[in-house]
Structure 1
């Protein structure tokens, strides 16, 4: 009997939705349909592909309210913040649609007498996208919209917790006129998903998730004997450095938002902050006051600013990091009792700020993915750089200062995919989104993001 996928809401522990997992045969048939559909889709003029993707986007935008409510039930995000995901989806989709003509244009290597030469960007074929639960729409659009714009067909597997989100994307694309088989959202368990990766027609796997998940993706492809490419956005432990010249009011607000928005459940959430010792005490006092103003509660309540984390296990993991840090000498500055909704053995978890921390503690080295941040004083830019780089991850880093030249100079020394100044936890679709070290490989967004979704094909024509 086929296993059933059950989505348990963190709001109240109820079953939000149930779906049947696809079988190996059904998944293989879906890849075959995608392969067949891609032959015609790649010949569809780019302008028509852009029109369909824009139409689907507009339909998606018209469902903003239902999307916000859906996200509250699925992963606990406060309903008043759900519209932000729709806005982020729109910004990324529009940019990638508009960037397609430039990204897909022929490359001219220059004149050579007697020859006509150019490099064409051709679609790779069938793309398998695996999207996470924490930003189910904004992460999915990073690969789906440009992959389709480039002439690929796409199969999407969403994380179990947000599996129904793929159904919405499939519906709006179908309503916009996307041909059958060009985009398919499937409910797959891990074993069947591995089989999809190993199908000869799948030429690219775009995965956002854990380090262990990224390793499993690469292992499955290798064991299948194929050579599908991979784009992997994996874990993070993103740092911030607050220099002595930072504007404290705006910096505290930005750091608090970067650490606690979406209950800290973002790949690029701030999880560790290094503050120049001359302003350390004032920064910590202000940050603690800022976080104390958060309202933990039912995400369907408009007054809630901090919802539950995705499940009880995630909450207990964060509590464990705090307990271990305090046992090792750290100090927790917030009393969970000040957040009445905080309850053990539930996903409702109070935010926490830790001081007197160091890099021997899990809270400063291990990805938290929850409403917790550690703060350390530093004596200099050089010490801050050393500590920011002391991590197996490298997604983003932020520098809070009035000196743009100093931020640029510090950024040159950081092992990270993105360097921010006076902001954090944001993806500019015009810039490449990438990571280093255990954060993964590959790139999404920007014109550069089209490169792994296409392959170069050279034309070398001898003419009279």
Structure 2
């Protein structure tokens, strides 16, 4: 029997062990989805909304359990883990709130003798592949809107967070969702790729690496089905000369180090106007020095381990590369408990004297490190912000909204923030440019990517 093993970054123990789905189980899941697809599509949107709301309630009722499991599966400090459950509720509730209006038929202006309308039809069976870093928040972006739009869903979570798939399905089953409409499968990478190619799959929603996104595109090539890909990021922040400095430091540093830097839209590089640079660096270093690195099951911990030792070693290598090229590391790792070579526990680091020839300023880190670079004006900041193969989000800190908007319009990113960062508003389209992916989730626009338009042109008078 092939097994999935989730090794906890807390202490290296095996936290979850599950058998991988057999080929027969995969076929059975596809057949169950096909058998109920028509009935679920025919369920009125109001009925789907009511069921999703019941599932949200069942999910929220498990908050303490789900938070503890998150802590042990992927290492988020227990003091912060409940926030992901609440974020799931926020996003799912918003998409339910707008579903009936967003999915309503589009009726065209009256034309004598004709009835004309456009109906949004579900795509069929969506395959959602979710990552470990925000396992509920990334999954909810695709799963709940897909169900509300009338699609059936197969969910595959990372081997690091397998319980998340199980808990989501449990909540929907408790809410009364018909069997087969939402299912999970524990799969290897090779079996995941094969399933993408299965004929019943009509949409693939993938969150993960650029290499993983390329695999999805290869697997669906020639099948003419849709996909949504949220991939890598190297998100920048720019602190203008007129920024509220205290707010900029607090917000940007939290955006860089929350979840140990393991956030798709976390801040990974900061550009600061020369007039504010020294003060920003001083305050940032002081703030980062206050983090408490420790076991995530300790309520006092504010910085947990990375997901696995190899991830921590990758970031250590980036830091060594930068220092070797002249960067200054402002924090002494020995002052943080548990940090040691070969460990998943990694001390936070702030680097200055950095440039784009360093890996830490060009390559996704996904860890507790940030480089801070001095810039002379908006134009230099803009050039550096756009000097990246990625474009998920970007943040500007300024008290001049008009100037910030003019600058934001030229930033190559799916979302541009002013005076905030590392947040997903479900009313806005979540999307990326360049190697950060394609497609869109959430908002009214997100429903357009989970349905196809069908036109009705009836001549009613002869």
Q: TM range, normalised to the smaller chain?
A: over 0.9
Choose from 236, 239, 242 the match for 2:236. 239
Q: CA deviation at 1:199?
A: 1.4
In 2, Cα distance between equivalents of 1:190 and 1:75: 19
In 2, Cα distance between equivalents of 1:33 and 1:195: 18
Q: Which residue number corresponds to residue 104 of structure 1?
A: 103
In 2, Cα distance between equivalents of 1:40 and 1:368: 45
Q: CA deviation at 1:23?
A: 1.9
Which secondary structure state, in structure 2, belongs to the residue aligned with residue 161 of structure 1?
Answer: coil
Give deviations 1:271-309, integer Å, cap 9, x for gaps. Answer: 000000011000000000000000000100010000000
Q: CA deviation at 1:67?
A: 1.3
In 2, Cα distance between equivalents of 1:109 and 1:211: 41
Which secondary structure state, in structure 1, belongs to the residue aligned with residue 81 of structure 2?
Answer: helix
In 2, Cα distance between equivalents of 1:416 and 1:112: 42
Give deviations 1:255-278, integer Å, cap 9, x for gaps. Answer: 111000000000000000000001
Q: CA deviation at 1:194?
A: 1.6
Q: Which runs of 5+ in 2 are unaligned?
A: none
- Structure 2 matches for 1:28-107, cutoff 5 A? 28-107=27-106
The reply to whether residue 433 of structure 1 matches residue 430 of structure 2 is: yes
**Is the 1:23–1:192 Cα contact (8 Å) retained in structure 2?**
no
Choose from 429, 436, 446 the match for 2:443. 446
Q: CA deviation at 1:108?
A: 2.1
- Structure 2 matches for 1:204-243, cutoff 5 A? 204-222=203-221, 225-243=222-240
In 2, Cα distance between equivalents of 1:411 and 1:105: 33
The reply to whether residue 136 of structure 1 matches residue 135 of structure 2 is: yes
Q: CA deviation at 1:221?
A: 1.4
In 1, Cα distance between equivalents of 2:398 and 2:97: 33
- Structure 2 matches for 1:339-354, cutoff 5 A? 339-354=336-351
Q: Which residue number corresponds to residue 159 of structure 1?
A: 158
Q: CA deviation at 1:196?
A: 1.5
**Is the 1:395–1:434 Cα contact (8 Å) retained in structure 2?**
yes
Choose from 380, 383, 405 the match for 2:402. 405
The Cα RMSD (Å) is: 0.8
**Is the 1:27–1:192 Cα contact (8 Å) retained in structure 2?**
no
Q: CA deviation at 1:12?
A: 0.2
Which secondary structure state, in structure 2, belongs to the residue aligned with residue 444 of structure 1?
Answer: coil
Give deviations 1:85-132, integer Å, cap 9, x for gaps. Answer: 011111100000011011101112322222100000010000000000
Which secondary structure state, in structure 2, belongs to the residue aligned with residue 249 of structure 1?
Answer: helix
Q: CA deviation at 1:32?
A: 1.8
**Is the 1:158–1:165 Cα contact (8 Å) retained in structure 2?**
yes
In 2, Cα distance between equivalents of 1:77 and 1:388: 29
In 2, Cα distance between equivalents of 1:405 and 1:431: 20
Choose from 267, 271, 276 the match for 1:270. 267
Q: Which residue number corresponds to residue 4 of structure 2?
A: 5
Which secondary structure state, in structure 1, belongs to the residue aligned with residue 219 of structure 2?
Answer: helix
In 1, Cα distance between equivalents of 2:381 and 2:460: 60
The reply to whether residue 379 of structure 1 matches residue 376 of structure 2 is: yes
Q: Which residue number corresponds to residue 149 of structure 2?
A: 150
In 1, Cα distance between equivalents of 2:296 and 2:460: 67
Report the more deviating stretch, 106-115 or 413-422.
Answer: 106-115
The reply to whether residue 359 of structure 1 matches residue 361 of structure 2 is: no
In 1, Cα distance between equivalents of 2:31 and 2:223: 16
The reply to whether residue 175 of structure 1 matches residue 174 of structure 2 is: yes
The reply to whether residue 458 of structure 1 matches residue 458 of structure 2 is: no
Q: CA deviation at 1:135?
A: 0.4
Pairs aligned (count): 461
**Is the 1:243–1:400 Cα contact (8 Å) retained in structure 2?**
yes
Q: Which residue number corresponds to residue 301 of structure 2?
A: 304
Q: CA deviation at 1:26?
A: 1.6
Report the more deviating stretch, 179-188 or 59-68.
Answer: 59-68
Which secondary structure state, in structure 1, belongs to the residue aligned with residue 186 of structure 2?
Answer: coil
The reply to whether residue 322 of structure 1 matches residue 319 of structure 2 is: yes
Normalised to the residue count of structure 1, the TM-score between the two structures is 0.98
Which secondary structure state, in structure 1, belongs to the residue aligned with residue 334 of structure 2?
Answer: helix
**Is the 1:121–1:455 Cα contact (8 Å) retained in structure 2?**
yes
In 2, Cα distance between equivalents of 1:196 and 1:463: 45
Which secondary structure state, in structure 1, belongs to the residue aligned with residue 449 of structure 2?
Answer: helix
**Is the 1:230–1:442 Cα contact (8 Å) retained in structure 2?**
yes
